[in-house]
A and B are shown apart, each in its own frame.
Chain A
Amino acid sequence: MKNNHYKVDIEIYVVFIVVIGISIFNAIYSSLNITKNQEVNNKIMTVDIPSLQAMETMNLLVTRSEMYSTNWAYILSNKEDKEKLKSLQDAEYPELRKKIEKLLPAWKDRESVENMNTIFKDFDKILEDQKQIMKILATFDDYQDPMKKFSADEIVESQIIPKSTEIISRLNNMVNRKKEQTEMLHFEMRSSYRSLMWSVLGIAIMVVVVILLAAFYLSNNIIVPLMKLKNYILQMGKGEIPEIAVSMKRNAVGLMTEAVRKLAESLKKTASFAHNIGEGNFKVEFQPLGSNDELGNALIQMRESLSMADSENKQRHWMASGLEQLNSALRENTDDLEKLSDEIINSLVKFLNVHNGAMYVVEKDHMNEKPYIQLCGSYAMDENQSARKKIEMGEGLIGQALKNKETIYLKDVPLGYLSINSGLGKASASHILIIPLSHRGEIYGVIELASFRKFQDEEIKFIEGIGETMGSTIAASKTNTLTKKLLDETRKQAERLAAQDEELRQTNDELSHQSSLLQASEEELKQSNTELKDKAKLVEEQNERLGQTRDALSIKVKELELNSKFKSEFLANMSHELRTPLNSVLILAKLLSDNKNKTFTEKEIEYARVIHKSGNDLLLLINDVLDLSKIEAGKLELMLERESVKGIKDDLYSLFSEVANQKKIEFSLELHSNIPNEIITDKVRLEQILKNLLSNAFKFTSANGTVTLKIKRPDKSIQYNNPAIFRNNELIEFAVTDSGIGIPREKQQLIFEAFQQVDGSTSRKYGGTGLGLSISRMLVALLGGEMHLVSEEGKGSTFSIFLPVRSVQTEIDEPELSVIDSVVSNTGQEPAENDPEGNLLATAEVADDRETLTTEDKIVLIVEDDLNFAKVLVDFAHEKNYKAVVATHGDEGLLLADRVNPSAIILDMQLPVIDGWSVLKKIQENPKLMNIPVHVMSAMDRRELGLEMGATTYLRKPLDKRDLDKTFSDIEKSIDADVKKVLIVENDLLQFEILRNLIVSKERNTKIFSAGSQEEVFKIINSESINCIILNLDFGSKHYNGFEILEQLKSNDKSSLLPVIVYTGEEINEEEEKQVKKFTNSVVQKNDESLNRILDETRLFLHRLNDEKEAVVRNQLPGKMNELLNGKSVLLVDDDMRNIYALTSALEGQGMNVIAACDGMDALAKIEKHKGLSIILMDIMMPEMDGYTAIQEIRKMDGYKSIPIIAQTAKAMKGDREKCIQSGASDYISKPINIEQLLSLMRVWLYKE
């Protein structure tokens, strides 16, 4: 049994060990894996990413150092950059280098470490070079020394730029490599996590399968047989003996089954044995199972006892039957003793099967009471024989028997003693038996029996018991007690069987305990599963951290973008700087080429033209740069209009056909028939793009080559970079093909980038800035299209642009566009030219006052296609006492304007037939109409453009009542405004006309007077109240002397305060300038811009006049306010002399003492010199020291911590105000300065003081 138990244990143990083993393997495998990944991740976090960041910072630093040092060499007054360069060298770089060197040991890539060290070494060299420059160009004078300047230029060009470029490219390579490596590590880590997850999952499944198999096996091989066994044993307990098959299983349960089967078999044998005994078959063989087989031995003993009892029973039965025979004999013959005796002896003889018998009955003699014996019965007794009839007590054997009350048995009686005879023979009886019959100690008789055979004992006893009925009962009771004892034995055997049953139940319990153990191990597996889940969570967390790292990287990218934005800003500033000197170049060149004095030879005129042309080209370049920066800054606005494709084609042809002729290039324009006649686009921009592409094509194509422009529908096969844009749009393609030098494949991407050309030296041969293509590409993108390039080196190039037939500007709402579309397509041409005027004007779609106009009426013309809004405007006009005329079409508006001569025009932009833009343009072009103020009310957000085109105000729909009120009050003002009078002193009639038109077009309500001589000037001044004088100070004039006029004007009471604008076509030297400036606020040199300048100045003075009038009215009320400025000292800091003079005269008019300074440094010096300043006006944009710095410096000085400083700047940028206040300014005012505003601002600050 012990061995068998062991076997069951092993099976269960094996299952457990396998499961536990798998779990342990799993745990070790996953923890190793996770540890490894953690290490990798740590490396990424602590080494790779910081290194990457540091390298990118380094890259930025090199770029900046390159920029700063370049600026150092080329731009004299860029203090900020110089400071930045110093701090970069002294602080930023050493710090960054330390940081990178700390990281270097952790780099595994030796090559990178060496690379980095080389980069450091090289950058150190660059720094040395930079320091060299800083040393060479230290002071202002150094910039003037050609030797130093050339040296510095040389260092920049030959050392710093190439070296920096190389370092940057090396750094970029390293950064890319590093990024790749990091990406690879990330990838490996991710895949390792994934494989870990799968393996863990696989193992878990394996464990479950093993457990299921084990459970199946155990239940099949142990539990099911055990349950069967339990049932058998229960059956056996109930006394049934089940049929049990021989178990083939050699395991513990099999053996157990075998044992139970044997037990049942032996029980069956024992039962059949007991059955036989019950049947009385005592002869049946039965072999006990062993000497200890209690049940078997007890059964054998029982059999023997039963067999003995049975024989006794038989004897008794024999006796009883004999008795019964005797009794029946006795019952029949109760009354006759002899007969009875006979009967008794007869039945006795017959019963005993003897041969001769006699019965003697004891008789009592009544006399002497002496008993005797009397023969009463006989059987086969011979009468002759000596048998006595009466025998005395003690007489013979019989008497003796009676006397002794004893049975006498005589054996081997001699022959002849008694013969038994029959008819045929006789023989002697050999055995004689004499028996007394007694009852309760009394003898009743004697019986003598003779036989040839021996008498059996029981026969003797039977005979002895005839009279004694009690004997048989005693023998029966003795058998009864014996049976009871046997029953006890059987019960004991049953109890032993019950004990065995209990044992089996225990085994059963043990098995169920083991099954619960299995359940526990299953529980354990579940736990290890949850552990695995925890680990998966850990993995997730790490992923999250990776995401954070990625975020950090994207922030870095944004910083880089910001950096490039700074670059664009820098470019924009530079372009402005360049424009200023260029202006004079252009104007002078133009003047020269005009050859007014006829002093130049043909050649010199040609030179002047060349200068002018070159200047123009440079201007174009600067415009390019500006365009580029505008586009990059996202500030370029498109003017989308319906344009004829043929018109574009014709424009281009007229532009380039001459070039083609000159260069002997075949130039063809192909307009395919399947394209729309008109497209919606910005014509100017589209032509800019095409001009650029065409001029490139001509530039790079040599004589006898071809240049083709094809306008067509694009092939369906074209692959667009951004298919989304083109999916739903109808497209048009403009393809410019040339047979020029072509572009190598590797450079094809490069040429689209700003400042890039195929070869850096291309500019030497072919010219160009390399900006055109990048601007073109950006413009194409802005128009919603794409530019493609197909080129082969040496064979030519094709630049194709793909544009939507309807370009869309994001600001413009879709429905507005569609309105224009439908209307335009319906009417087609401008009906204004075809329709008779009357027709148009007769039909008023809105009830207006066109029938009831009189010349005294104030009339407003409303050009609006929204009838409801037009009605609102009419009502509003009526409310304000205006008569209103409504036009719903642009052309109708123009006609009505011409007809009714309104006081003001309210104009919508989106109009049928002719749009508002064109109406506005035509109004401005028409001298009769251009004085009418135009108030634009439109949903389009194009305020700047509207004002630029001449609108008086520009309001965006939707409008509220306040807007309308304001508009009408503006109209009121424009009607009521005083007529301003401007005197122009000019001999040249043409020049006068130009000036007059210019001023009248911009300043309504202006009357222009003309004077050609000194006398005329003063005649007019005396007769008219002139507001402003414009004087041409040409020394060559024969009719007047400008200086004299000026002097006379100043000395004349009436005109001494008149603003005079002096303009001159000749260069005046410093001496002369000083002289002029004594008399006037404004000197304008003639050039292209000069007309606008004159206009600006004039407007300034005219408006100031108005404002000052108002100010006078206002100032009359609080007299104290007026005196606030009187006698105070003001420091005026401005680098623009015009401003200084304008402001000085204004401030001196207020009784102020004005001290002027031309820049920050000068201002500081003046402050030192002049104590008792009350207020400072500070310009921000100045050379040497700018306003911000100056304010900061002033605030550092003792006693100037709280002096009011009002900053003024031309840049009305958002952050400017904050920047001014931050640097210490008390307040801020933006240019152009409104004098009254400035004065009240100053009063506020001085009042505070």
Chain B
Amino acid sequence: MFFIFISNAFYSGRKTALVLSLTILLMSMKPVGDAGNEYTIKAMFIYNFTKHIEWNQPPSPSFRIGIVGNSDIQGALELIATQKKVGNLPIEVIKITSDDNSLFQVIFVSKSQVQKLEELAKKYAGKSVLIISEEAKHSEQGATINLITTDNKVRFELNQTAGKVAGLKISSTLANLAMTVNP
């Protein structure tokens, strides 16, 4: 059977623990100040992306977010992982080493490791992995989403073509929220 996988915002029965709280989110309404704050917001974005994306992967015991390179986002994501789940899967935040061939749902490529983007995109093409980079235009190198900071605000670009190549189903909500959407 085909799995219909919709973020059921209206009727979700989930009663997850009270969040990472609103305070962080509200803080995020302010301009991005220091780097720590910026990564808290980016982590939050990544978490929110998961609600609007469907992965076509074999079932796995956890929702794996891989991080390439050293980044403050790791701490921020780990904090989210303690309080949130994706669906009913616990979130696992893993720093990826170059010889790691295991499967991830999300791979975050830090600024310093941008050069690995293309290689990663090839490696995970069709495996339904969401690759997120941090700078504009890197989507051409295979990232589906680019988290960018403009005017002290975090926004994102969405490359739907890259998403298709990656084997992801991305909801129109996300497309509506994105700054630019490549067909």
Most buried by B among A136, A151, A155, A699: A151
Contact of A144 among B1, B28, B177 (CB under 8 A): B177
Interface string of B45-60 (1 = CB under 8 A from A): 1001001000010010
With A155-B22, A659-B1 known as contacts, the answer to whether A755 contacts B29 (CB < 8 A) is no
A428 and B6 alpha carbons, distance in the complex (Å): 188
Q: Write out, one digit per residue, whether chain B residues 27-63 have a CB within 8 A of any chain A CB (1) or not (0).
A: 0110000000000010011001001000010010000
Known: A150-B48, A162-B15. A764 touches B41 (CB 8 A): no
Distance from A375 Cβ to chain B, minimum over Cβ atoms (Å)? 180
Question: Is B9 a contact partner of A74 (Cβ separation < 8 A)?
Answer: yes
Q: Which candidate, B67-75, B98-106, B131-139, B150-158, is the interface stretch facing chain A? A: B150-158
Of A612-620, A893-901, A903-911, A984-992, the one contacting chain B is A612-620
Contacting residues, chain B, for A155 (C-beta < 8 A): 22, 25
Task: Give the distance in Å from the alpha carbon of A161 to the alpha carbon of B154 in the complex.
Answer: 27
Question: In whole angstroms, what is the CA distance A387 to B89 when docked?
Answer: 195
Q: Which of A146, A153, A159, A769 contacts B4 (CB 8 A)?
A: A769
Instruction: Give B1-30 as 1s and 0s: 1 = Cβ < 8 Å from A's Cβ atoms.
Output: 111111011111111101100100110110
Question: Are A157's CB and B14's CB within 8 A?
Answer: yes
**Is A507 interfacial (CB-CB < 8 Å)?**
no
Q: Which residues of B contact A151 (CB under 8 A)?
A: 22, 25-26, 28-29
What B residues does A70 contact at CB under 8 A? 9-10
Q: Of all chain A residues, which has the CB nearest B54? A: A614
Complex Cα spacing A154 to B50, Å: 13
Task: Say whether, besides A153-B48, A159-B22, A761 and B87 are in contact (CB < 8 Å).
Answer: yes
B-side binding surface: helix, strand, loop or mixed? loop
Q: Bits for A690-702, please: 1 = Cβ < 8 Å to B, else 0.
A: 0000010011000
Confirm or deny: B97 has a beta carbon within 8 angstroms of a beta carbon on chain A: no
Contacts of B45 in A (CB 8 A): 146-147, 150
Using Cβ atoms and an 8 Å threshold, which residues of chain A touch B9? Answer: 70, 74, 153, 156-157
A6 CB-CB contact with B under 8 Å: no
Which of A129, A581, A755, A763 has the most chain B CB within a 10 Å cutoff? A763
How many B residues have CB within 8 A of the partner chain?
Answer: 45
> Is A766 an interface residue, CB under 8 A from the partner?
yes
Chain B, Cβ-Cβ closest to A155: B22
Q: Can you name the residue of chain A whose Cβ is closest to the Cβ of B59?
A: A765
Instruction: List chain B residues, Cβ under 8 A from A386.
Output: none
Residue A760, interface by CB 8 Å: yes
The answer to the question of B95 belonging to the interface, with a C-beta cut-off of 8 Å to chain A, is no
Q: Which residues of B contact A158 (CB under 8 A)?
A: 16, 18-19
Interchain CB contact under 8 A, A764 and B5: yes
Q: Within 8 Å of chain B (Cβ to Cβ): is A1195? A: no
Q: Which residue of A has the minimal Cβ distance to B13?
A: A760
B-contact 0/1 string along A594-611, CB 8 Å cutoff: 000000000110010011
A614:B169 contact, CB within 8 angstroms: yes
Closest residue of B by beta carbon distance from A151: B25
Judged by a CB distance under 8 angstroms, whether A165 is at the interface is yes
Shortest beta-carbon distance from A657 to chain B in Å:
14
How far is the CB of B45 from the nearest CB of chain A, in Å? 7
Are A767 and B3 in touch, CB under 8 angstroms? yes
Please give the distance in Å from B61's CB to the nearest CB on chain A.
Answer: 11
Give min CB distance, B173 to chain A, whole Å. Answer: 8
Chain B residues near A156 (CB, 8 Å)?
9
Complex Cα gap A765–B88 (Å) = 9
Q: Mark A157-182, 1 if CB is under 8 A from B, else 0.
A: 11101100100000000000000000
Return the contact of B19 from the options A136, A154, A698, A768 (Cβ within 8 A): A154
Residues in chain B near residue A64, CB distance under 8 A: none
Expressed in whole angstroms, the Cα–Cα distance for A768 and B6 within the complex equals 9
Contacts of A645 in B (CB 8 A): none
Bound-state CA distance A521–B87 (Å) is 86
* A871 in the interface (beta carbon within 8 A): no
The residues of A that contact B19 with a CB separation of less than 8 Å are 154, 158-159
Q: Which residue of A lies closest to B83 (CB)?
A: A158
Chain B residue contacts of A878, Cβ below 8 A: none
CB distance from B14 to the nearest CB of A (A): 6
- Asked if A1099 is an interface residue, CB under 8 A from chain B, the answer is no
B5, B12, B13, B164, most chain A CB atoms within 10 A: B13
Tell me, in angstroms, the Cα distance from A603 to B164 when the chains sit together: 10
In the complex, which residues 748-799 of chain A have their Cβ closer than 8 Å to any Cβ of chain B?
A: 755, 759-761, 763-769
Given A659-B1, A767-B2, A146:B88 Cβ within 8 A: no
Interface: A621 (CB within 8 A): yes
Q: Which residue of A lies closest to B154 (CB)?
A: A147
Chain B window 150-183, contacts with chain A (Cβ cutoff 8 Å), 1 for yes, 0 for no: 0001111000000011010100100011100000
* List of A residues within 8 angstroms of B51 by Cβ: 153
CB distance from A47 to the nearest CB of B (A): 34
Q: How many A-B residue pairs have CB under 8 A?
A: 113
- Expressed in whole angstroms, the Cα–Cα distance for A761 and B10 within the complex equals 14
Asked whether A760 lies within 8 Å of B48 as measured between CB atoms, the reply is no
Partner of A147, one of B2, B29, B56: B29
Query: What CA separation (Å) do A74 and B9 show in the bound complex?
Result: 9
Bound together, the chains give a CA A607 to CA B177 distance in angstroms of 23
What mask results when residues 609 to 647 of chain A are scored 1 for a CB within 8 Å of chain B, else 0? 011011001100100000000000000000000000000
CB atoms of B41 and A617 under 8 A apart: no
**B11 / chain A contacts, CB cutoff of 8 Å:** 755
Closest to B89 in A: A764
The complex places the Cα of A610 from the Cα of B128 at a distance, in Å, of 13
Q: Which residues of B contact A610 (CB under 8 A)?
A: 56
Docked-complex contact B1 and A767, CB < 8 angstroms: yes
Given contacts A70-B10, A621-B4, contact A148 B29 (CB under 8 A): yes
**Cβ 8 A contact of B44, one of A150, A165, A764, A767:** A150
* A144 close to B22 (CB less than 8 A): no
Query: Does A31 reach chain B (CB closer than 8 Å)?
Result: no
Cross-chain contact A699 with B48 (CB below 8 angstroms):
no
Complex Cα–Cα for A764 and B28 (A) = 29
Nearest chain A residue, comparing its CB with the CB of B177:
A146
Residues of A within 8 A of B156 (CB): 146
A81 to chain B, nearest CB (A): 13
Chain A residues within an 8 Å CB radius of B88: 759, 761, 764-765
CA distance A766 to B59 in the complex (A): 10
Interface centre among A144, A146, A621 (most CB of B within 10 A): A146
Residues from chain A with Cβ under 8 Å of B41 in the complex = 147
Q: Decide if B154 touches A763 in the complex (CB within 8 Å).
A: no
Which of A154, A618, A755, A769 contacts B48 (CB under 8 A)? A154
Q: Is A132 an interface residue (CB 8 A)?
A: yes
Residues in A113-144 with C-beta less than 8 Å from chain B: 129, 132, 136, 144
A144 to B26, CA, bound (A): 17
- The residue in chain A whose Cβ has the minimal distance to the Cβ of B11 is A755
Contact among B10, B15, B87 for A165, CB-based, below 8 A: B15
Q: Would you call B2 and A613 a contact (CB within 8 A)?
A: yes
A residues less than 8 Å from B18 (CB atoms):
158-159
* Min CB gap A219→B, angstroms: 85
Selected from B29, B44, B172, B178, the residue in CB contact (under 8 A) with A581 is B172
- C-alpha spacing A136/B22, complex, angstroms: 12
- Asked if A147 meets B1 with Cβ closer than 8 Å, knowing A157-B14, A761-B88, the reply is no
Report Cα–Cα, A614/B59, bound state, in Å. Answer: 19
A768 to B88, CA, bound (A): 15
Residue of B nearest to A618 (CB): B4
Given contacts A157-B9, A764-B89, contact A695 B15 (CB under 8 A): no
Q: Which of A74, A144, A159, A695 contacts B10 (CB 8 A)?
A: A74
User: Which 7 pairs between the two chains have the least Cβ-Cβ distance?
Assistant: A760-B13, A767-B3, A761-B88, A764-B87, A146-B177, A151-B25, A150-B48
Sample (16) of A-B pairs whose CB atoms are under 8 Å apart: A70-B10, A146-B155, A149-B177, A151-B25, A151-B29, A154-B25, A158-B16, A159-B18, A159-B22, A603-B126, A607-B164, A621-B4, A763-B4, A765-B87, A767-B5, A768-B3
Known interface pairs A132-B22, A146-B155, A764-B5; 16 further A-B residue pairs with C-beta atoms within 8 A, sorted by A's residue number: A129-B22, A144-B177, A147-B41, A147-B45, A149-B177, A154-B19, A154-B22, A158-B19, A159-B19, A165-B15, A603-B126, A617-B4, A760-B13, A760-B14, A761-B87, A764-B89
